[in-house]
Amino acid sequence: MTQYRLEVADVVRSYGSEYLAEHGDSVSSEQRRVLKAVSACRTVALGGHVEACDRCGHQRIAYNSCRNRHCTKCQAAARAAWMEERSAELLPVQYFHVVLALPDAFGSLALQTPRVVYAILFQAVAQTLLEVAADPKHLGARIGFLAILHTWGQNLMHHPHIHCLVPGGGLAADGSRWIRCRKDFFLRVRVLSRVFRGKFLDLLKQAYRRGALQRHARLGPLEHPIAFERFLNGTVKTDWVVHAKPPFGSPPQVLKYLARYTHRVAISNDRLISLEHGQVRFHWKDYAQGNVHKTMTLAATEFIRRFLLHVLPTGFVKIRHYGFLGNRVRKTSLATARQLLGVAESPQCGETQREVAIPDALCEDSLPPCPACKCGRMILVERLLPQRVLPLPIPTVVPWDSS
């Protein structure tokens, strides 16, 4: 018999009501929707269908997914489709992973006005990389890159930062040649850190002057311009964290690595250990102590609070493209880059598949195999309508034996 595997949804179903009773006044509409979606995902609440083997008659029920981007169970399909699109955009050059993070001092400000502060973070990162790379003293090229927003650390605390995947080089200003960066070196981290700091602070000041930043509760004193200026001055005393990791290997390795970041949520189910007596235990990696693997125990309501810290505003785009990989110029820029690099043009992503695709209903191979007899195919025999059910607390979940 297969042992049950603890999920984030289990914690939400068991202690979500308790959390809302304690903190309901501070829970946003987006956070409430996430709690509802996560708890209902792949249950009778969303409906589903019954499949049966066309040979042995074995049946199974498959419930529908919530498809919420914060759900731990709904990212695999979205990630696979997105990665397939990106595979046609890789260039035969080395790729660098650059991470730019906000200091902890901006955490409360970002949580109160996430749409504004996260947009400023993206803008500051883009301006920094594009301008430093375009400077002849550094690279002197027009680069392109992919940027992904993460708002969490391994302990689920708020830690906004952006992961960037950057090809090692760029197009000359006139588009006449491809300019490669030095082997195993992209741009100077200290330069990136200081430019990033200046860009972000300047953009934040502009948002403050036009009244776009909320400052409630303990941030109330920042309503006064002098206090806000003093707050900003305190953040410039140290260099801001910027990491530029070594380049990757082949394009498939780049895609595999990128898949770890694109559609990730704050915590995955496989990091959970147990839910006992109102306490959640999970694995985490302490980067400050040399990437040591540790175990953390939190009250279930505190676990939910930390999980909800990372719910993004509705419609906010957390994966963005810049430079020659920007949406408007990507097609022509990649064609130019491949020509300059002397490689064949890649087909438009998905075109070949769409031209020869056979409708699923006509393709026997598209039906999943029977898990019982291994010979037949599972076909749809009944659709199940969504049902209104009261969420029942799950029983205590014992530690999962990963061995």
Which tens digit of pLDDT belongs to each residue from 291-314?
899 999 999 999 999 999 999 999
* Residue 279 identity: Q
Q: At residue 389, does pLDDT exceed 70?
A: no
Does an H or E element contain 382, and which? strand 378-384
| DSSP-derived secondary structure letter, 161 | E
Over range 202-220, report the average pLDDT.
84
- Among residues 77, 71, 67, 83, the alpha carbon closest in space to that of 259 is found at 83
For 176, list phi and psi in degrees, rounded to 5: -85, -15
* Residue 83 identity: M
Q: At residue 187, does pLDDT exceed 80?
A: yes
Residue 288: Cβ-neighbour burial (10 angstroms; 0-12, 13-18, 19+): exposed
pLDDT, tens digit, 9 for 90 and up, residues 126-178? 999 999 999 999 999 999 999 999 999 999 999 999 999 999 999 999 999 99
Predicted confidence band of residue 260 (pLDDT cuts 50, 70, 90): confident
| DSSP-derived secondary structure letter, 369 | B
Task: At 130, list the tokens.
Answer: 């594009």
> What is this structure's pTM?
0.86
Q: How many CA atoms lie within 13 A of 195 on its CB side?
A: 18
Please state which of the ranges 15-24, 59-68, 81-90, 200-209 shows the lowest mean pLDDT.
Answer: 81-90
The CATH architecture assigned to 89-266+309-346 reads 3-Layer(aba) Sandwich (3.40)
Predicted confidence band of residue 326 (pLDDT cuts 50, 70, 90): very high
Contact 54, 379 (CB under 8 A): yes
Q: Cα 18 to chain center, whole Å?
A: 28
pLDDT of residue 363: 43
